[in-house]
Chains A and B, each alone.
Chain A
Amino acid sequence: GQNIDQPTEMTATEGAIVQINCTYQTSGFNGLFWYQQHAGEAPTFLSYNVLDGLEEKGRFSSFLSRSKGYSYLLLKELQMKDSASYLCAVGAGKSTFGDGTTLTVKP
Chain B
Amino acid sequence: DSGVTQTPKHLITATGQRVTLRCSPRSGDLSVYWYQQSLDQGLQFLIQYYNGEERAKGNILERFSAQQFPDLHSELNLSSLELGDSALYFCASSVGSSGTDTQYFGPGTRLTVL
Q: Which residues of A approach B to under 8 Å, CB–CB?
A: 28, 30-31, 33, 40-45, 48, 50, 87, 90-100
Other-chain contact of A94, B99, B102, B107 (Cβ < 8 Å): B99
User: Which secondary structure characterizes the binding site on chain B?
Assistant: loop
- Is B48 positioned at the interface, with any CB of A under 8 Å from its CB? yes
A42 contacts B100, C-beta separation under 8 Å: no
Max count, chain A CB within 10 A of own CB: residue among B33, B43, B56, B102:
B43
B100 contacts A30, C-beta separation under 8 Å: yes
Max count, chain A CB within 10 A of own CB: residue among B58, B88, B102:
B102
A41 contacts B98, C-beta separation under 8 Å: no
Q: Which residues of B approach A to under 8 Å, CB–CB?
A: 2, 33, 35, 41-43, 45, 48, 55-56, 58, 88, 90, 98-108
B99 contacts A99, C-beta separation under 8 Å: no
A99 contacts B42, C-beta separation under 8 Å: yes
Beta-carbon nearest neighbor of A102 in chain B = B40
Hey, which chain B residues are within 8 Å of A40, CB to CB?
88
Interchain CA distance A30-B103 in the complex, whole Å:
14
